[in-house]
Each structure stands twice: as C-alpha cells, then as structure tokens.
C-alpha cells in the first residue's frame, strides 16, 4: 500500500501538507524558529498521528464488541532528546474511555490490541522511542 503526500512551502516557515484525498494540514516551525505559529509542528503531528491511529483502533474494537462507548480521548506526551536530531525518546499514551456499562476488561483488551498489534503509527514510533500506555474507564 503506497501513500503519497505533497508538502508545499507557504512562506516563512509554514508548509501545507496535502494527501491524495485532498485533505490538508498546516505545519509551521513556530514563532521562535522563524514561523508564524499558523500550524502544528511536524513533531507534534507525529504524536497526533499515533494518538489518532490508536484511538481509531480502540473505538472500532469496542464497537465491534457491541460496547456502548460514548467517548474516547487519548492524551499523548513525548519526551525528546536534548541533542540533534531531537527524536522522541519516551512516549506515553493515556486513554480515557467513557460509556454505559463499559467493562474495564473490554477497554484493556481494546487498548492492548491497538498498541501491541494494530496501530501502525505507534509501532513505527516504538522503534525509536520507549512507548508506554495506560487507560481509565468512566461510566456515564
């Protein structure tokens, strides 16, 4: 499966990334690095991508198991190396899943399946960084 992305300079240190679907994302180096603060940093997008990938898995797994899920939020934190290249060295994902009658064991299973088997973005980042995760369940 091939993915093709185009990244086009938009002035200063701002760039527009476009997928073949036509969807775009604005990236910016940040005000301190010559940018205008108009978009996300590429490094933040890496964490967002992993969080999005894992969240999609968790929701799909729980829905397929006929769980009554009402919300899924993941907080992703990353620690970067001090020296160049400033890669992520530690990444932690905290999943907060809400639902009616949602069992702790079902959420645990969904998160572990995503993080250990299905989430391609997390698997890629785990090759460079220590990746940890946990979860909490809220009854609504």
Q: What CATH number does the domain containing 127 carry? A: 3.30.300.20
Do residue 78 and residue 23 come from a single domain?
A: no
d(CA 102, CA 69) in angstroms, rounded, equals 7
Strands 14-19 and 5-9: antiparallel
Give the pLDDT confidence of 35-93 residue by residue, as tens digits.
889 999 999 999 999 999 999 999 999 999 999 999 999 999 999 999 999 999 999 99
Q: Which domain holds residue 33?
A: 1-40
30 pLDDT more than 90: no
Q: What is the pTM of this model?
A: 0.93
Q: What percent of the chain has pLDDT over 70?
A: 100
> What is residue 135's predicted lDDT score, i.e. its pLDDT?
98
The domain total for the chain is: 2
d(CA 61, CA 40) in angstroms, rounded, equals 29
More confident residue, 30 or 7: 7
């Amino acid at each position: 499966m091939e993915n093709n992305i185009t990244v086009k300079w938009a002035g200063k240190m701002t760039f527009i990334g476009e997928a073949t679907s036509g969807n775009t994302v604005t990236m910016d180096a940040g005000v301190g690095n010559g940018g205008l603060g108009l978009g996300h940093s590429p490094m933040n997008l890496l964490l967002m991508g992993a969080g999005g990938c894992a969240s999609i898995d968790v929701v799909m797994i729980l829905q397929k198991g006929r769980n009554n899920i009402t919300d899924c939020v993941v907080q992703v934190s990353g620690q970067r190396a001090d020296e160049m290249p400033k890669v992520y060295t530690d990444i932690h994902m905290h999943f907060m899943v809400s639902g009616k009658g949602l069992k702790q064991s079902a959420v645990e299973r969904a998160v572990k399946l995503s993080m250990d088997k299905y989430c391609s973005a997390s698997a890629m980042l785990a090759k460079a960084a220590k990746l940890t995760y946990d979860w909490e369940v809220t009854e609504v």
